[in-house]
Amino acid sequence: MRIVAGVDCGTQATKVILVDTASATVLAEAAASHELISDSNGRREQQPQWWIDALVSAFTQALAQAGIDAEQVTAIGISGQQHGLVVLDSNGEVIRPAKLWCDTETAPQNAELLALLGGEQSCIDQLGLRIETGYTASKLLWLKQQHPEQFAQIAQVLLPHDYLNFWLTGEYCAEYGDASGTGLFDVRKRCWDQRVCDLIDPSGQLFNALPPLRSAAQRAGIVRGHAKELLGLNDNVIVSVGGGDNMMGAIGTGNVKNGIVTMSLGTSGTIYTYSDQPVALNHPSIANFCASSDGWMPLICTMNVTSASSLVQNLLQMDLAEFNQALANSPIGAGNITLLPFFNGERVPALPQGTGSIHGLDAANFNRDNLVRAVVEGASYGLRYGVELLRDAGIEVNQIRLIGGGAKSPLWRQMIADVMNCEVICPVIGEAAALGGVIQACWALGNTIDTDIVDALVALDASTATAPIAAHVAQYQQAYQRYLTTLSAQYPQQVNA
């Protein structure tokens, strides 16, 4: 056996899988949840220590489940939520809670940065993408403006997965995929961009605090010190360079060559593909990220998927079985109710100050079943909006590899197939980002990107294959057009610009 651990530090929990890579067998899966610091002004933060505590808890659970000793683990790969800001002082101590990808408190700072860069197109020309509210850059400007004494203490700027790598190894480093989502990075040249850093902090302190960049097959280091003791690992456990959760999810679904499309129905929603060249942006909402497999990864992100459905589920005090039954009870179109689920603002379309709203209610359609279907449809239509942007950019979407919590629902899988009008299928291992960590850790062990390892560890679950139903496609098309009309009426300046 050669046991490798994959870790996915998400918004709601940290998950750990243990894989015997010699036999391509998953030995264990475990998770530990995180708290969330939240405020109505858009603040979404977490203490980085919570991620460490959850990693240790989930890792310990996974070892017990697998019935193995920690000393059998040979390598670890870390996936982390993108865009989060972790700032450390000169002693390597966390200065303040990490602002997360879903934090929209910094929307004014993002608008200010875009203006300083000369506007949307100038930003794309310089960095290869449009910076968005939620990216790391605006968080840094916010910190400088709102808490200058904390900003002055910054010695290192890290993303969430970089911080976990640092805790494990004592090494500061970043990799191209996650770094490309900061707004501080030139995605075409694959390097930090000093010009945008200087707009935030002309002293050079910020630019000098950015970690060195490493490619996908390189190592972050070896597990050492307190982390080694706490996890019970041996002296030679390799940590791969890791990546953002979407980039690692791409690896974990086999999306490492042209022509494969992955969609995640997680807290947020994403749809992305691989490209061996930077993509020409037909629309600024397409994020032209780098991949964590040394290519590029054009991506669309919506900020409200299971986070939105969970709000309705909790409001109605339903368990998951009741929620799914309500979804099945309501007809396609939710009785002509349209729900814009922008509870966390929205990235695609670009509505950082957007709010959730329900339209079309009347005495006949206002019931629990329709409300449940309306929120699931609303989240799905937001992804359809993004899929159409990718199709308009020349990206074929003929089959979607579906991951995330929502992918476990046969009803939601059928909805995605019908709304997108293409086949949907799930990987056998649903924890795709954690599996991506396992695969990338194997690359680090061998010092090379080996697609044979991808083929060996990524398998598709034929039992989940879901084809669109023609009659449903037509019904959803009508409901989607109603969604677009409602969206345009609610946000005419932003959507119709």
Give the residue numbers marked as catalytic.
Answer: 245
**DSSP states of 222-233 as a string?**
E--HHHHHHHT-
What DSSP character marks residue 362? -
CA 315 – CA 115 distance, rounded (Å): 40
Whose tokens are 């060996």? That residue is 456
**DSSP states of 313-351 as a string?**
HHHTT--HHHHHHHHHHSPTTGGG-EEE--BTBBTTTTB
Q: Answer whether 161's CB lies under 8 Å from 79's CB.
A: yes
Give me 255's structure tokens: 């999306």
What DSSP character marks residue 459? -
Burial class (CB in 10 A: 0-12, 13-18, 19+), 149: exposed
Helices (H) and strands (E) in the chain, counts: 19, 25
Q: Which helix (H) or strand (E) holds 439?
A: helix 432-446
Q: Answer whether 460's CB lies under 8 Å from 449's CB.
A: no
Q: Answer whether 95's CB lies under 8 Å from 143's CB.
A: no
Q: Give CA 57 to chain center in angstroms.
A: 22
Output the CA–CA distances (angstroms, integers) from residue 313 to 122, 192, 201, 325, 427, in the order listed: 42, 42, 44, 12, 26
Query: CB atoms < 10 A from the CB of 439, how many?
Result: 31
Q: Which helix (H) or strand (E) holds 485?
A: helix 470-490
CA 412 – CA 40 distance, rounded (Å): 29
